[in-house]
């Protein structure tokens, strides 16, 4: 929110279209497979497999619709969302939050693929936090659990 306004908050692009765009970008980047994760019949993330120098690896990229929804509500209440041509209440809906969340993920994937193409990074480096390390657990999730355990161990009884 460098401008004070949430990225893509005025999008009218349906979630299904953006999910398809994300799948296509990952496939063009070399993903051997791409799957959509659903909760309550709504897409909430992507899993994909990439060939790496160490063999095929699985990754999961979550999409936090609830976090985007909370951000939009907060920005709306703070008067940061323009309302010309749009009803501000629309920005606060869960459905709109899903559209925004998926557009943000699409932009993130697109920006990172541009960095990879420019040889500023690698796909494995960008996706490292989302690497599966223990079944369906990502490296980031494993790290957070480990850090929480360390914090809990350090608390006085």
| Domain limits, the chain | 15-154
pLDDT of residue 54: 86
Instruction: Name the DSSP class of 14.
Output: -
**pLDDT tens digits for the chain (157 residues)?**
455 789 999 999 999 999 999 999 999 999 999 999 999 999 999 999 988 888 999 999 999 999 999 999 999 888 888 765 556 677 888 999 999 999 999 999 999 999 999 999 988 899 999 999 988 899 999 999 999 888 888 777 6
pTM of the model: 0.87
Q: Token pair for residue 9?
A: 């908050």
Q: Which two tokens stand for residue 37?
A: 């994760």
Per-residue pLDDT at 2: 52
H or E element, residue 4: none
- Rounded CA-CA distance 64/105 in Å is 10
Instruction: Give the list of residues 6+ apart from residue 25 with CB closer than 8 angstroms, or none.
Output: 106, 109, 110, 113
Residue pair 58/47 in contact (Cβ under 8 Å)? The answer is yes
pLDDT of 77 reads 85
**Strand-strand pairing, 55-62 and 137-138:** unpaired
């Amino acid at each position: 929110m460098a401008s004070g306004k949430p990225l893509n908050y005025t999008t009218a692009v349906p979630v299904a279209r953006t999910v398809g765009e994300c799948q296509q970008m990952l496939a063009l980047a070399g993903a051997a497979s791409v799957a959509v994760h659903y909760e309550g019949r709504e897409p909430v993330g992507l899993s994909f497999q990439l060939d790496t120098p160490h063999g095929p690896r699985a990754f999961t990229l979550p999409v936090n619709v609830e976090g985007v929804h909370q951000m939009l509500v907060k920005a709306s209440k703070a008067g940061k969302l323009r309302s010309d041509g749009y009803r501000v209440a629309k920005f606060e809906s869960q459905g709109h939050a899903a559209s925004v969340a998926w557009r943000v993920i699409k932009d993130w994937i697109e920006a990172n693929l541009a960095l990879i193409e420019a040889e500023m990074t690698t796909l494995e480096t960008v996706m490292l936090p989302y690497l599966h390390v223990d079944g369906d657990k990502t490296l980031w999730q494993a790290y957070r659990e480990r850090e929480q355990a360390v914090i809990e161990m350090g608390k006085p009884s």
